[in-house]
Structure 1
Amino acid sequence: MKLRFAAVVLLPCSLAHAEPRYTQNDFGGVGLLQTPTARMAPAGELSFNANRTDPYSRYSLSLQPLDWLEGTFRYTSISNRKYGSEALSGDQSYKDKAVDAKARLWQESHWLPEVALGFRDIGGTGLFSSEYFVANKRYKDLDFSLGIAWGYIGNRGDMDNPLGYLDDRFDTRPVSSTAGDVNTNSYFRGSPALFGGVVYQTPWAPLSLKVEYDGNDYKHEPQNNNQVQDSPINIGAVYKLSDSVDLTAGWERGNTALFGITLHTNFVSRKAPVKSYDPPATPLPPQAPTTPLDQVDWAEVSKKLEKNAGYTVERIAQRDSELMIYGEQSKYFYSAKGVGRASRILDNNANDEIQWFTLVNKRYDMPMEETSVPRATFRNVVNNEQDLVDLHRTTEVNRATAHVDKTLYQQKPNPFTYGFGLGYQQNLGGPDGFLLYQVSAYAEGQYRFTPNTWASGGVSVNLFNNFDKFKYDSASNLPRVRTDLRQYITTSDVTMPALQLNQARKLDQDLYGMVYGGYLEPMYAGVGGELLYRPMGERWSVGADLNYVRQRDFDQGFGLRDYRTVTGHITSYTKLPFDLDAAVSVGRYLARDWGTTIDISREFTNGVKFGGWVTRTTASKEEYGEGSFDKGIYISIPFDEIMSVSTMSRANIAWAPLTRDGGAMLHRQYSLHTMTDGRNRDAFYENFEKITE
């Protein structure tokens, strides 16, 4: 399993939970102890859970992308079972990985309960797989739940399956045999059991108490690991240590202690840290300057625009009563914030001839959008003499077009930029070690030969790792396009992850193109190109990329291996109901298999994104191997949400249960869809209040 990681800190936040509070169960996801409930955390919630109930230690990540949808991703360590042979795994305990999902079917009303449908362990080995319906009803400080479950949660199996009256096959539950597959042929089959319980919110706000009736009798545990159950009643307590930390203790099976901790935050309700390291916004002058425009020190204004508003200025021009700034925003994640800060600086330097400030944002000389701010209204709003809604209504975000204007100032940007930092990568859940990691230092740079032609690359140096334990190579029935991961990670301490030449152009008012060549990613070199049609302000776009690539040597230097292929996809991007975004790619993958990748995500107004993908290709289950098909989830968090300085960078975490060769895409360094995010007019207006910061 490959995990691509960038560190994210779960910072404390104030959450307005209705009482009783919604807390996590042993497996991850809102619930009691061993059992789920129909309750959901607020949208935007993220929690990391760790607990121990002998012989199981469970580590899970739960996400709430929508008010009615919950997802959980979990590792279970079974301490009394070994992972594999001692030569490979040593004394490492067995690790099971799983994916859960729960959807609300009905929201609680005065008379009716909240009802949810859930699936446990739908994308892993199926050792703990289960399906259930559960209902919740609140009475004052008590929250009652009652459900029926098939599979692990209902292993007591003391009821006849009501679905057996429809078809006899529902009376027996087949054993899962394909790790990582979605075993729909087992759903709702076998004898179910009832489960349920109650949460009591005590008068002492930090403390909640739980009592549940367990639907599992522990006589059918995975790997013949049956446990003695002295009582089906489990009890527990959850103590809210802080706004972002919950501690759990309990007594399960009538004979076994439970201890757990949950770290959680909500990326919708939490407030981002104060940007104490940003320069203060420029105050507005008492009145407009009188200096003629052709006598203003525009070079000095350009420096202020870059330092305070994040714009690298290319040109400043006048168009009648409009002052035009052509440049590239490189600092502020919220474009409204950069526009507002630039407007303050321009208001301090432009005389009263100017009634509009227009910022034309470019990426690699490709005009994206132009934002026009009415000067008088902006001043009145900043001075609290007019409502923000008036500025919202009159500020325009339009397609960037060519204008006839008078140049007041022009400068050539610095062609060379560079940066340094620390990198981290890890391999999680392998048989040779649960956590294999590497910390590295890197240097990266970019040189622009022209505004739209540039070279980019970097060097990475290993600082420390435990990859000496990394011995296992996944089996493969396809060309080894990704399963040679171990060799790429362990062969050299100094690597060149990428070094390529790129050119991008705006081909028409809504059409963009890019070509590139070189060492495109750690495993592949080659040449390729991309086209993207993205109408301004529309909630859809379509693109295509085509690449001829060849495998790189394991040391990630300049050498190449023999394997080569053509890969590429046509991708459509669109907005779905419930504020979901979809990207559907159809094409040829690195292992020469053909297929489709569906990526569904939810991006909140602050840019935090929860998403997941599924890929099915012409590679059969036998060719693909364990897992049957490619799938995974990811979280993308703007550093602006977790740091005290403004930045456009992101922390990205991608989690895939297994690294396999089927459905493998090229990891391109640049994407036209990302580069043209300025065309998303919604993102500007959803965070419009930032224009006054």
Structure 2
Amino acid sequence: MARLRFPAAAPTLTGLALAALTGLSAPARAEGLSSYGTPGLIDLPAATAAPDGTLAWTSSFLGGHTRNTLQFQITPRLSGVFRYSILRGYFDTPEADLYDRSFDLHYVFRTESPRFPALAVGLRDFGGTGVFGAEYLVATKRFLDNRLALSGGIGWGRLGSYHGFRNPLAVLGERFETRPGLTSLSETGRVSFNRFFRGEAALFGGLSYQLNDRLQLAVEYSSDAYRREVASMGFAHRSPVNIGLSWQASEALTLTAAVIGGAQLGLGFSYQLDPRAPRAPGGRERAVAPLLPRAEIAALGWPAGNTEASRSRLASALARDGLRLESYAEDGARARIVLANPGFRAAPQALGRAARAMANSLPAGIERFEITLTAQGMPTTQAAFRRADLHQLEHAWDGSWQSFARAQITDAPARLAPDPGVYPALDWSLLPYVRTALFDPDSPLRADVGLAASASYRLAPGLSVETLIRQKAFGTLDQSSRISNSIQPHVRSDAPLYDKLSGPQLVQLSADYLVRPGGDLYGRVSAGYFEQMFAGVSGEILWYPQGSRLALGAELNHLVQRDPAARLGLGDYRVTSGHASAYYDFGDSYRGQLDLGRYLAGDWGGTLTLAREFDNGFRVAAFFTLTGISFDDFGEGSFDKGISLTIPLDWLTGEPSRRGFAQTIRPIQRDGGARVAIAHRLYEEVRGTNAQTLSDQWGKFWR
């Protein structure tokens, strides 16, 4: 059966921009952000923080100087930033422009009290070129019912460049007297521990005053001399005083105008949204059928033991909610089903609807419902409910909590055999796609637009064959003229070559078998063309007990690089890669993942990923990889790192969906620390049905 589906991965930056322009979700009031996209005044930081969990996009324009910043409030006190800046005429060379990528951290280590100010410490551009490199300590105190805020602090690096003085930290050692500089491009991307809080320091300060509900005035004394911009870019810096106005156009959008350095006009805007506040908080799914009184069910006279009739009624009821019945069996007063959930992102919502469908479709004598959830047909979790509990709790004020407490959630290492006609089955789709390539200095944004045909042929429980074919309609990915200078095997740095192939492109053609080797264990075997650049065979095993915060896995792959000049051809490069992985749910929406092993270029090392994922599926993650490849041999960027964003489709539309938009933002893609892309990696397949995740999302049970 053909179904119209949205692509699993599309450019999230575009989606985020559209979300902003269409006014999706925002915090109650946008917190002040500086032109650097961090909590602050105009150019300077303040000891404030954005609302916890909010995401903000800031763009500022200052002559030939453009800053674009993505900021995330990681915790109530800690925020992180990725910034992409364009500085026109920065170098005295034919390629005079600088395209700069940088990361910041800002931490409020003391919140404001009636007597004492808030205190914060920050690092600017701590892992980039150092063009914006600075560190600071800042204090902020509010007065006049929070309408007036005073800030002051001390800065180093760029924030110590105007009227600087001897570093007060020099009392701790002579190493704080001087600030080393970068000596070559290959040093960019490294964490600059040897420059933190080094060299001259300078004082800065400022104030902001809320003129009315929408308009705010800011004045600051800046310790940034804009030295390189003055020397190379014709920047006018005549005064350390900056003056700015910000206008709150909406709860999320703020427009700013400022005079920087006494002579330079700056304009900008910031947009903040709250990932925990979807556009349709309650959802727009089909209304759930109420439970029929048990007396009415008994009056219908459905006989126990007529499994064919019960199966038919139940399958029809489940299909109305987009659920698929794979197996049905009756055993006295017990009914057992195997359920496929292709539509609801929160598994408890599928469970709740399935349980009510069973109560409304099965004979009155059946008292116990056992529902086995699946991932690609592989059994994962069983949830058992008493019919009497459903009727008792349907309208209870704490029905969600009580239904979870009374449900019996257990591991499901085995499943019922599929009913006749369930397998084999074919799903296919034809839909538009957008692919992007970011941060090429010749063209910071390239994109292709076209049609993608995908198909999944389910042969048996856990066994499927999938394919994805793309046909580009128009775009610029094939126009990249950059040639890799990597001294490592070109496992990723030759990616532009694969975009030059004309005509339909077979991106994926692979077979996957997901199986349960035993209790708490999951297994996967895959073979075929996994992605645009690699084919091969892969095996994986995962240990993940029900209700556990910890999961452990191992993966082994033997891979062959695909020939960029041939549609199905394979090249000469072969590699065996694999990782041991640990996954941990820290609670309060925080997750961590550690992968240790061998990467595509044959390098050994590890990747640490820290993510904040809300119960609605909105996810922001940061990762970095360190391997045996030295920073110099890695090349520009020094090591692999980046940020990933996932926006669930139901967050945007309110309609039930397990799909979404995803984008990984890397400052630069090199060959070190690269992994093959494989569909159906086990942890992502099964964690949504683990008891730990079910408990977090159980509020959806009665939806």
TM-score range relative to shorter protein: over 0.9
Tell whether 2:208 aligns with 1:199: yes
Between the aligned partners of 1:220 and 1:128, the Cα distance in structure 2 is: 11
The one of 462, 475, 499 aligned to 1:452: 462
1:311-460 equivalences under 5 Å are 311-384=323-396, 387-400=399-412, 411-460=421-470
Change (3 A) 1:409 1:454: closer
Between the aligned partners of 2:599 and 2:70, the Cα distance in structure 1 is: 29
How far off its partner does 1:143 sit?
A: 2.0
Per the alignment, residue 173 of structure 1 pairs with: 179
Tell whether 2:115 aligns with 1:131: no
Between the aligned partners of 2:578 and 2:92, the Cα distance in structure 1 is: 38
Between the aligned partners of 2:231 and 2:104, the Cα distance in structure 1 is: 21
Note if contact 2:532-2:562 (Cα within 8 Å) is conserved in structure 1. yes
**Given residue 112 of structure 2, which amino acid in structure 1 is its aligned partner?**
E
Per the alignment, residue 114 of structure 2 pairs with: 110
How far off its partner does 1:679 sit?
A: 4.4
**Given residue 538 of structure 1, which amino acid in structure 2 is its aligned partner?**
S
Partner of 2:79, secondary structure, is: strand
How far off its partner does 1:688 sit?
A: 1.9
How far off its partner does 1:387 sit?
A: 4.4
Tell whether 2:187 aligns with 1:186: no
How far off its partner does 1:244 sit?
A: 2.5
The one of 279, 289, 293 aligned to 2:286: 279
The one of 310, 314, 339 aligned to 1:301: 314
**Given residue 281 of structure 1, which amino acid in structure 2 is its aligned partner?**
V
Per the alignment, residue 80 of structure 2 pairs with: 71
Note if contact 2:27-2:272 (Cα within 8 Å) is conserved in structure 1. no
| Partner deviation per Cα, 1:335-363 (whole Å, 9 max, x = no partner) | 12111222222221223323333321012
Note if contact 2:24-2:279 (Cα within 8 Å) is conserved in structure 1. no
**Given residue 302 of structure 1, which amino acid in structure 2 is its aligned partner?**
A
Change (3 A) 1:433 1:318: same
Partner of 2:653, secondary structure, is: coil
Note if contact 1:220-1:226 (Cα within 8 Å) is conserved in structure 2. no
Change (3 A) 1:470 1:82: farther
1:38-49 equivalences under 5 Å are 38-49=47-58
Tell whether 2:485 aligns with 1:482: no
Between the aligned partners of 1:83 and 1:452, the Cα distance in structure 2 is: 60
Per the alignment, residue 292 of structure 1 pairs with: 303
Between the aligned partners of 1:129 and 1:642, the Cα distance in structure 2 is: 37
Note if contact 1:273-1:643 (Cα within 8 Å) is conserved in structure 2. no
Structure 2 alignment gaps of length 5 or more: 1-8
Change (3 A) 1:318 1:113: farther
Between the aligned partners of 2:247 and 2:690, the Cα distance in structure 1 is: 43
Tell whether 2:252 aligns with 1:244: yes
Between the aligned partners of 1:360 and 1:223, the Cα distance in structure 2 is: 68
How far off its partner does 1:129 sit?
A: 0.5
Between the aligned partners of 1:386 and 1:46, the Cα distance in structure 2 is: 32
**Given residue 186 of structure 1, which amino acid in structure 2 is its aligned partner?**
R
Note if contact 2:414-2:516 (Cα within 8 Å) is conserved in structure 1. no
Between the aligned partners of 1:381 and 1:245, the Cα distance in structure 2 is: 43
Note if contact 1:154-1:215 (Cα within 8 Å) is conserved in structure 2. yes
Change (3 A) 1:131 1:222: farther
Structure 1 alignment gaps of length 5 or more: 87-91
Between the aligned partners of 2:397 and 2:127, the Cα distance in structure 1 is: 57
Q: For the aligned residues, what is the CA RMSD?
A: 2.4
The percent of aligned pairs where both chains have the same amino acid is 30
| Partner deviation per Cα, 1:282-312 (whole Å, 9 max, x = no partner) | 132243502223344422321321331x432
**Given residue 283 of structure 1, which amino acid in structure 2 is its aligned partner?**
P
Partner of 2:545, secondary structure, is: coil
Between the aligned partners of 2:508 and 2:496, the Cα distance in structure 1 is: 18
Partner of 1:676, secondary structure, is: helix
Note if contact 1:13-1:243 (Cα within 8 Å) is conserved in structure 2. no
Per the alignment, residue 526 of structure 1 pairs with: 536
**Given residue 572 of structure 1, which amino acid in structure 2 is its aligned partner?**
A
**Given residue 290 of structure 2, which amino acid in structure 1 is its aligned partner?**
P
Per the alignment, residue 151 of structure 1 pairs with: 157
1:505-584 equivalences under 5 Å are 505-555=515-565, 557-576=567-586, 579-584=589-594
Per the alignment, residue 226 of structure 2 pairs with: 218
**Given residue 112 of structure 1, which amino acid in structure 2 is its aligned partner?**
F
Between the aligned partners of 1:463 and 1:426, the Cα distance in structure 2 is: 14
Range with greater deviation from structure 2 (249-258 or 537-546): 249-258
How far off its partner does 1:94 sit?
A: 2.7
Range with greater deviation from structure 2 (119-128 or 92-101): 92-101
Note if contact 2:413-2:519 (Cα within 8 Å) is conserved in structure 1. yes
Note if contact 1:179-1:627 (Cα within 8 Å) is conserved in structure 2. yes
Per the alignment, residue 473 of structure 1 pairs with: 483
How far off its partner does 1:497 sit?
A: 0.7
How far off its partner does 1:397 sit?
A: 2.3
Per the alignment, residue 63 of structure 2 pairs with: 54
Instruction: Kindly tell me the number of residue pairs found equivalent between the two proteins.
Output: 678
**Given residue 216 of structure 2, which amino acid in structure 1 is its aligned partner?**
S
Change (3 A) 1:616 1:223: farther
Partner of 2:482, secondary structure, is: coil
**Given residue 307 of structure 1, which amino acid in structure 2 is its aligned partner?**
R
Range with greater deviation from structure 2 (491-500 or 217-226): 217-226
Change (3 A) 1:663 1:192: same
How far off its partner does 1:600 sit?
A: 1.2
Partner of 1:481, secondary structure, is: coil
Partner of 2:149, secondary structure, is: strand
How far off its partner does 1:461 sit?
A: 0.4
Per the alignment, residue 89 of structure 1 pairs with: none
Note if contact 2:279-2:652 (Cα within 8 Å) is conserved in structure 1. no
Per the alignment, residue 4 of structure 2 pairs with: none
Between the aligned partners of 1:270 and 1:650, the Cα distance in structure 2 is: 13
| Partner deviation per Cα, 1:199-236 (whole Å, 9 max, x = no partner) | 2223x322222222211122354974473322212122
Note if contact 2:413-2:518 (Cα within 8 Å) is conserved in structure 1. no
Note if contact 1:298-1:409 (Cα within 8 Å) is conserved in structure 2. no
| Partner deviation per Cα, 1:17-51 (whole Å, 9 max, x = no partner) | 4xxx5122101122111111121112221111111
**Given residue 294 of structure 1, which amino acid in structure 2 is its aligned partner?**
G
